Amino acid sequence: MGLKRPDRRGFLKSAAAVAGGLTLGSVEPALGQTPASGTFIKGSDELIAYGERSRFVTSVRIPHPPGGRASPDGFGLVFHVAAPLQDSVGMITPSSLHFVGTTRGSFIPDIDPREHRLMIHGMVDRPLTFTLEDLKRLPSVTRPHFIECAGNRSRPQHKTVQETHGMTSCAEWTGVLLSVLLKEAGVKGGASWIVAEGAEEVKGASSIPMAKAMDDCLVCYGMNGEAVRPQQGFPMRLLVPGFEGIFNSKYLRRIKVVDRYYMTYNDYGHLTQDPKNAALGVQIGPKSVITFPSGEQQLPGRGFYEISGLAWSGGGAIRRVEVSTDGGRRWMDAEIRGTAYRMAHTRFSFNWNWDGKETELLSRCTDELGSVQPSRAQVAEFFNVPLDPSYRVPGRDNSIQPWRVASDGSVHNGNS
Ligand SMILES: Nc1nc2c(c(=O)[nH]1)N[C@H]1C(S)=C(S)[C@@H](COP(=O)(O)O)O[C@H]1N2
Ligand SMILES: [Mo]
């Protein structure tokens, strides 16, 4: 077992951990770790130029929904791609494993950054166009932010956390505040919305309120220390922190400043006539999920486990995460690991000593506004719909995710 952190020792020596069957004696001594000759990875120009992970690490993304589905307008391509949250550590998703949300299948424009322009026009004093080089000359900011697709929902047929929650990821984004660009262009009085548009023919366009545009939106060219990847919107994308994923226009080429909400392709399937649903707005969360132990994982036996998970909210920073290890009867504070950034995934953990009996693990979070993540029963009550296993949460699904641990250590979706 790889239990290396010294702060564990106290806990592992405690009576509870020993009673659970795990003692320090079961941890292998650090001998024989120098590889014998012939077991080194062969160097190559490619490996020197751009690194690769170990061949023993096999975690990958999957088409979403499970089994794959073409985009709704029949373009015939994989609709969305889900991130393997079950293997995640920390709060950053590596760019190669970041989920991909597409409004028209996984159709990725191959854009030459030298040809690409971002235009800001409409109700402005000075219409402007920016090249990538222009953007990079302006003052930049770097911030961790999550993106979550509005379609990220836990269904009874979903088995793993990748299937129930894999349509969210968190990256460190670098770019220019949209407010800097809008001020440069000079927003005219009466302008109350912007329409942001991507470069594909589907246009990936969304109407965004001016207050949000002037607050914390970013035009990003950097992601996790390198250029934004093509699947994430190379050469530049909009980041609208905390709003539904669809607002984060990739391949950003045009921002029109306007005085009303413009209907766009993105409104298809997203606008709702349910007043309660509409009143919830476009802000994500608060939401959390335990990533270990989670669906289809296997606990080798009773004893000590660090329960680990992610929490996030469109309402700001995560203030509190609670965990229940007995199906929701008692709730205990989890530890927040590292810094809880605004509109970013936040890693939490909870030390658990499993007694080997069947149980259910749950997590719920509270954000800086004081909003608390609801249970499925509470969501059902709010929307006045019956709570049954096939129940599909209306609107976005930020309900508490139960993981059922069977006495043989197998873990299953508690919503099934
Ligand atoms: N230009 C463009 N922007 C887009 C989309 C798109 O298809 N085209 N998909 C949207 C959707 S539905 C989501 S959930 C997010 C996903 O961002 P990601 O693919 O970087 O995870 O991008 C949004 N921005
Ligand atoms: Mo999405």
CATH number at residue 121: 3.90.420.10
Q: Which residues line ligand 1 (CB under 6 A)?
A: 98-104, 147, 149, 169, 198, 200, 204, 232, 245-246, 248-251
Computed from CA positions of residues 126, 207, 289, 101, in that sequence, does the dihedral angle turn out positive or negative? negative
Task: Tell me if 123 is assigned to some domain.
Answer: yes
377 CA to centre of ligand 1 in angstroms = 31
248 and 365 belong to one structural domain: no
115 and 260 belong to one structural domain: yes
172 and 208 belong to one structural domain: yes
Tell me the mean pLDDT in the region 222-244.
Answer: 97
Task: Tell me if 50 is assigned to some domain.
Answer: no
- Counting Cβ atoms within 10 Å, is residue 11 exposed (0-12), middle (13-18) or buried (19+)? middle
pTM for this one?
0.91
260 and 193 belong to one structural domain: yes
pLDDT band at 25 (very low <50, low <70, confident <90, very high): very low
Q: Are the C-beta atoms of 85 and 166 separated by less than 8 Å?
A: yes
267 and 365 belong to one structural domain: no
Q: Which of 51-60, 302-311, 386-395 has the lowest mean pLDDT?
A: 386-395
CATH number at residue 400: 2.60.40.650
259 and 347 belong to one structural domain: no
Selection from 279, 333, 288, 277 nearest residue 313 by Cα: 288
144 and 203 belong to one structural domain: yes
Q: How many domains, in total, are found in the chain? A: 2
Q: Which of 195-204, 273-282, 315-324, 355-364 has the lowest mean pLDDT?
A: 273-282
Task: Tell me if 399 is assigned to some domain.
Answer: yes
CA angle 95, 97, 100 (to 5 degrees): 90
204 and 334 belong to one structural domain: no
User: What range defines the domain where residue 343 resides?
Assistant: 287-413
346 and 216 belong to one structural domain: no
Q: Which domain-ending residue is among 243, 271, 299?
A: 271
> What is the residue with the minimal CA distance to atom 11 of ligand 1?
246
